[in-house]
């Protein structure tokens, strides 16, 4: 039973049957990490697996980094961290954490795997980007601390990730193993700044699937004794829970061997594997030291106690949820150069990089309602909309060369061109020299699209400051 408790399977709604999770719960797994679902599906799931489990408590977890909406079909999505970094407002960061926690608890979720402490300092990083608060470690720490305060007040556990810092890589660890060629001194001066400052306030540290050859040339951080025990525990003094990132990611190869090495390196929780039943059987065939199992189960006991205590002392309400994204958009949007659209102008919209198929209807509607005529042919003003953003297993970000080429051709046909980034701000790098101005809105949420359009119309001033270098 001790071994089983260290396994936290992932559960993908609409792809897996609830009976599978109930069977795993009966075997004594320590918790689950949820992906997808509706609010009602999740409530039913948490109820059923808790009833099936012989344990006093199991921990229900989820990657609700931007509120619940990225994963939960009928829940709102909140402004991304990078937008909060542009706003620089700790109150907004606190409120995001609080709103996330309150909604998560309503569904029976105990543990939110956030905040992301990776730094947005590498333009081609395909998986961090707008999930980060900033390229600056101190700013990241300040905003992440406020966010964790919100999670705590709202009654859920938090988790900082992806130790020791996933920012300076250009590989999606869902697809392959990123390499971070940094010395320990370099890490301490840059990537580790937010981790060191947040350690006293977190409930868990999630390691990243990335190789740091100057510290451990053989093992990724996910199962590196030098990084998990040597750096995190011995040098930084972390005495709490260490958990792996999802073991199903292709960066680490065979998940059974990776899981075994992770435990031996100092991890306490094995997260989201392809085949939890096979992993459990494999681990039972190994000779695991008793003190390793006792330490890990002790960590889980403490987490369960902390989760109950947080839930009992939770306070706050969801009254500010409907206005949160609009307030965040007003504080976050950034303007560079001349972005004004004259009254009654004829405008051509060119949308690129719409990975998530979110579209740009709110932006378009705001222009139309202001009397702007949208045309397909040559216009007074060309507005290029970049909706490019990170997406797991995609492997790249920003605009493709074909999209950049198309945009450049169109700018040569127009006397005035404006770029609006409704996603990654780094998408602007290839176009800033051929447009008159840029508005950074960081995401395609309705409030941010409307605010970006209002800035172009001259109805609103952009108040944000870019938290990254382009």
- Could you tell me which residues come within 8 angstroms of residue 342 by beta carbon, excluding any fewer than 6 positions away? 380, 381
Structure tokens given for 392: 């797991």
Is 284 part of the annotated catalytic residue set?
no
Q: Beta partners for 296? A: none
- Could you tell me which residues come within 8 angstroms of residue 31 by beta carbon, excluding any fewer than 6 positions away? 8, 58, 59, 60, 61, 110, 111, 269
- CB of 422 within 8 A of CB of 363? yes
Structure tokens given for 164: 């020791």
Strand order in the sheet with 111-112: 10-12, 31-35, 59-62, 111-112
User: Side-chain half-sphere of 327: how many Cα atoms within 13 Å?
Assistant: 12
Provide the angle, in degrees to the nearest 10, between the axes of the packed helices 255-265 and 290-312. 80
Whole-number Å distance between alpha carbons of 223 and 230: 12
Is 308 part of the annotated catalytic residue set?
no
Whole-number Å distance between alpha carbons of 400 and 428: 12
| CA-wise closest residue to 8 among 212, 322, 217, 303 | 303
Whole-number Å distance between alpha carbons of 302 and 311: 14
Pick the catalytic residue: 110, 118, 121, 245?
Answer: 245
Whole-number Å distance between alpha carbons of 158 and 216: 28
Structure tokens given for 174: 């869902």
- A 10 A CB-CB count for 302 gives 14
Pick the catalytic residue: 162, 174, 190, 414?
Answer: 174
Residues catalogued as catalytic: 174, 245
């Amino acid at each position: 039973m001790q071994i089983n408790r260290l396994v936290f399977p992932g559960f993908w709604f609409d792809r897996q049957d609830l009976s599978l999770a109930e069977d795993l719960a009966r075997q004594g797994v320590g918790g689950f990490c949820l992906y997808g679902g509706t609010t009602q599906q999740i409530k039913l799931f948490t109820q059923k697996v808790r009833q099936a489990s012989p344990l006093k408590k199991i921990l229900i977890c989820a990657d609700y980094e931007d509120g619940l909406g990225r994963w939960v079909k009928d829940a709102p999505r909140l402004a991304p961290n990078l937008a909060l970094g542009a706003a620089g407002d700790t109150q907004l960061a606190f409120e995001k954490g609080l709103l996330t926690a309150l909604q998560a608890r309503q569904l029976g979720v105990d543990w939110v795997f956030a905040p992301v402490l990776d730094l947005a300092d590498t333009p081609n990083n395909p998986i961090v980007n707008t999930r980060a608060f900033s390229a600056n470690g101190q700013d990241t720490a300040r905003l992440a601390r406020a966010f964790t305060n919100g999670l705590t007040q709202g009654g859920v556990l938090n988790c900082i990730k992806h130790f020791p810092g996933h920012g300076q890589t250009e590989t999606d660890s869902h697809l392959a193993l990123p390499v971070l060629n940094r010395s320990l001194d370099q890490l301490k001066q840059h990537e580790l700044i937010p981790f060191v400052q947040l350690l006293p306030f977190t409930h868990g540290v999630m390691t990243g699937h990335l190789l740091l050859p100057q510290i451990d040339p053989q093992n990724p951080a996910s199962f590196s004794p030098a990084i998990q025990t040597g750096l995190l525990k011995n040098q930084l003094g972390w005495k709490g829970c260490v958990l792996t990132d999802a073991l199903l990611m292709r960066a680490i190869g065979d998940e059974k061997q990776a899981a075994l090495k992770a435990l031996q390196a100092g991890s306490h929780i094995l997260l989201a594997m392809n085949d939890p039943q096979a992993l459990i059987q494999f681990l039972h065939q190994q000779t695991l030291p008793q003190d390793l199992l006792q330490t890990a189960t002790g960590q889980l006991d403490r987490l369960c106690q902390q989760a109950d205590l947080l839930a009992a002392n939770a306070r706050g309400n969801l009254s500010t949820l409907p206005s949160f994204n609009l307030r965040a958009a007003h504080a976050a949007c950034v303007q560079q150069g001349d972005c004004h659209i004259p009254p009654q102008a004829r405008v051509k919209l060119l949308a690129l990089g719409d990975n998530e198929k979110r579209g740009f209807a709110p932006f378009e509607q705001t222009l139309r309602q202001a009397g702007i005529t949208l045309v397909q042919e040559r216009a007074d003003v060309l507005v290029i909309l970049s909706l490019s953003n990170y997406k797991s297993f995609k492997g790249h970000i920003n605009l493709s060369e074909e999209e950049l080429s198309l945009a450049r051709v169109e700018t040569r046909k127009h006397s005035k061109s404006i770029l609006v980034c409704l996603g990654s701000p780094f998408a602007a790098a290839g176009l800033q020299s051929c447009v008159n101005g840029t508005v950074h809105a960081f995401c395609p949420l309705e409030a941010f699209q409307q605010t970006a359009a209002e800035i172009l119309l001259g109805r609103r001033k952009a108040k944000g400051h870019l938290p990254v270098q382009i």
